[in-house]
A and B are shown apart, each in its own frame.
Chain A
C-alpha cells in the first residue's frame, strides 16, 4: 500500500438512521456503487480522508523515485538502464496523476507538498529503506511494486471517481514494471554468478518484511479502516490484502530459487493460505514516525530539490507573464 495509515478522524461509523439527509443520500450512492465525482456533495471527513490518502499516495510515487535514482547512474547494462529510467519516468507521471486527482477535492498541490517537506504528511514506509545493491532494483520492482499493485487493483473500485480512474491508468504501467523487476532477478538467479545469486537473496532478506509492512497495521490495530471501508475508499482490509500478496508471491519466490527470511512461512492446507510470522510492528511504527533508516535523507532530498529549483520556477512564471503582456500589447 502506498498510503498505509490514513486518519479518517471518525471514531465510530454512523448508521443510516443517525445521518443527516445529505449524508444518507451520499451513503446510499456509495452502497449502490455509484462513483462520487468532484462536484457532488460529500461529507467533509470523506473529503479530508481522501486528500490525505491520495496525497500520501502521490508523495510515495515521488519519494519512491529516490531509492531508484541511487542506482540509475550505475545500472549494469543499457537495457537495464533504459528499463529503470522508463520506470522512474512513469513514477513521476503517476505522481502527477495523483496530485491532479487530489486537486479535484479542493486541495492544493504545493500546500500538500509543503506538508511532506515539513514531515507532517506521510508517504509509504518502504521508501525509507536504503537500496544497497543492484539486486534491490529487481526486488523493489517485484516486491514493492507487487505490493502496490495488490493494493491498487482493489483501489480501481474505490468510491471516488477521479482516484479510481487514476488507479486504472497507473496499474497498467505498474504491472509492466513489476514483471521487469522479477525478470531482472530471474536473470541473475538463472544465468548469474554465485555473487549475483547472493546479491538477490540478500536483497530479498532486507526487503521482504518492509514490503509486508506496506499494507499497513493489522486489522485489529487499524481504527480508521471501518470508516474507510464504509465509504468504500478502501475495499479490503490491510490483512486481507497482505495475505493475498503473500499467497501470490511465495510461488514466485520459489520459482526464483530463493527463500523468505521467515521461518514460520508455510502453506496451511486447512486455511488455503500461507501462514507467516509476526511483523515487527515496533519497527513499522518507528519508520512511520520518521525514525527509519532513510527518512531524514529522503525528505531532505525532496526539500532541497524544491528549494534549489525555486529560481527556475520563478523564472518560468516571470517569462510566461512577459509573453502574455507582449501578446496583449
Chain B
C-alpha cells in the first residue's frame, strides 16, 4: 500500500524533471545569448541528473526488471506522471522562463519538504537536488523580473506568457490524496505547505515588477499525476524515445 503511493510520487518528481530537462534540450543552439546557451544546458543537465536519481529509486521499488532508462524511454504517455506545466512547448523566451520559474518555485518547496523525509533515500536525493534548484529558481526569478520589468515588448510577452501557463498550475498548488497520506507518514512533502510556499514565491516575484497577481487556476479534468496529459507529451516522447524503441535490443 505504501509503494502504491510512493512509486507514483517518485514518478511525479522524476518525470517532471525529465520532461523539463528535455524541453531545455530543445533550446540548444537557439538561445538569445551565449551565456544563456550555457545556463539552459546547465539547468537541463541538473534536471536530467535528478530525474535519473528518482527513476532509479522508482525502478528498484517496482522491481519488475525495468531500470531508470526503461522507465524514461519505454513508457507511454499514459504512464508518465509529470506536471502538465513542464510538457508545454517552449514558445518564446518569456514562455520558457515563466514555465521554468513556476516549476522551480514548486520544485524548491517540494525539495525543502523532502529533505526532512523519513525515507533516507528520498532525503538524500532531495538534499543534493535542493542545491541545484536553489540556483535554478534564482535564475528564473531574475529573468521573470528582467522580462516583466524590462522593455514594453518584453512586458507584453510576459503578460501573454503568464495566462498561457497559469491554467496548468492547479497541480502545483494542490497535491493529491495519495501525497497527503505519504506526507502524514513523514515521507512526502506536505502538499498544503508546498502550495502555499509556491504561491508566496510566485506572488513576491510578480509583485516586484508589478506583474498582475495571479488568482487560483480552475480545475482541469487533465492531470499529470493520473497520466492524463495534454497533446504535447506524446510528440515529445516520440522524439525522446525513438532510438530505444526502434532498436529494442541495443546497448548504448
Q: Mark A281-325, 1 if CB is under 8 A from B, else 0.
A: 000000000000000000001101110111111111011101000
Q: Which A residues are in CB contact (< 8 Å) with B41?
A: 85, 88-89, 92
Q: Does B219 contact A (CB under 8 A)?
A: no
> A309 near B93 (CB under 8 angstroms)?
yes
Q: Is B243 interfacial (CB 8 A cutoff)?
A: yes
Given A76-B243, A92-B37, verify A188-B28 contact (CB < 8 Å).
no
Q: Is the beta-carbon distance between B154 and A311 smaller than 8 angstroms?
A: yes
Question: Does B88 reach chain A (CB closer than 8 Å)?
Answer: no
User: Any chain A CB within 8 A of the CB of B149?
Assistant: yes
Q: Which residue of B lies closest to A80 (CB)?
A: B252
B150/A92 in contact, CB under 8 A: no
A77→B68 CA distance, assembly (Å): 9
Question: What is the interface of chain A mostly: helix, strand, loop, or mixed?
Answer: helix
Q: Does B192 contact A (CB under 8 A)?
A: no
Closest residue of chain A to B145 (Cβ to Cβ) is: A319
* Contact (Cβ within 8 A) B240 A73: yes
Residue of B nearest to A58 (CB): B34
Q: Residue B2 at the A interface, CB < 8 A?
A: no
Q: Please, what's the 1-or-0 string for B74-97, where 1 marks a CB less than 8 Å from any CB in chain A?
A: 000000000000000000110000
Contact of B252 among A73, A76, A93, A95 (CB under 8 A): A76
Contact B153 A315 (CB under 8 A): yes
The chain B residue with its CB closest to the CB of A68 is B28
- With A188-B252, A196-B250 already in contact, the answer to whether A319 and B146 are too (CB < 8 A) is yes
How many residues on chain B are close to A (CB under 8 Å)? 48
Instruction: Provide the residues of chain A in CB contact with B244, threshold 8 Å.
Output: 76-77
Cα–Cα, bound, A248→B44 (Å): 35
CB of B252 within 8 A of CB of A187, answer yes
Question: Are A312 and B154 touching (Cβ within 8 A)?
Answer: yes
A193-B45 in contact (CB<8A): no
Q: Is the CB of A314 within 8 A of B151?
A: yes
B147 near A: Cβ within 8 Å?
yes
For B213, what are the chain A residues with a Cβ–Cβ distance below 8 Å?
none
Which residues of chain A have C-beta atoms less than 8 A from B93's C-beta?
A: 309, 312
B33 within 8 A of A: yes
* C-alpha spacing A301/B41, complex, angstroms: 18
Q: How many Å lie between the Cα of A305 and that of B27 in the bound state?
A: 10
- Do A74 and B34 touch (CB < 8 A)? no
A82 touches B49 (CB 8 A): yes
Which residue of chain A lies nearest to B93 when distances are taken between CB atoms in the complex? A312
Q: Is the CB of A196 within 8 A of B247?
A: yes
Question: Does A42 sit at the interface, judged by CB under 8 A?
Answer: no
Alpha-carbon distance A313/B38, docked complex (angstroms)? 15
Whether B32 contacts A312 by the Cβ 8 Å rule is yes
B24 nearest in chain A by CB position = A85
Contacts of B251 in A (CB 8 A): 187-188, 191-192, 196
Q: Does B60 contact A (CB under 8 A)?
A: no
By beta carbon, the residue of chain B nearest A81 is: B48
- Smallest beta-carbon distance A287→chain B, Å: 20
Q: List 18 A-B contacts (CB under 8 A).
A: A69-B25, A69-B29, A77-B69, A79-B52, A92-B41, A93-B38, A96-B38, A188-B250, A195-B247, A196-B251, A305-B29, A309-B32, A311-B153, A311-B154, A312-B93, A312-B147, A319-B147, A319-B150
Q: Add 14 more A-B contacts to A79-B69, A96-B35, A316-B150 (CB < 8 A).
A: A65-B37, A66-B29, A68-B28, A75-B243, A77-B69, A78-B51, A78-B68, A82-B45, A88-B37, A89-B38, A92-B41, A301-B29, A311-B154, A314-B150
The 8 A-B residue pairs with the shortest CB-CB distance in the complex, in nearest-first order: A309-B32, A315-B150, A315-B154, A69-B28, A76-B243, A312-B32, A89-B41, A92-B38
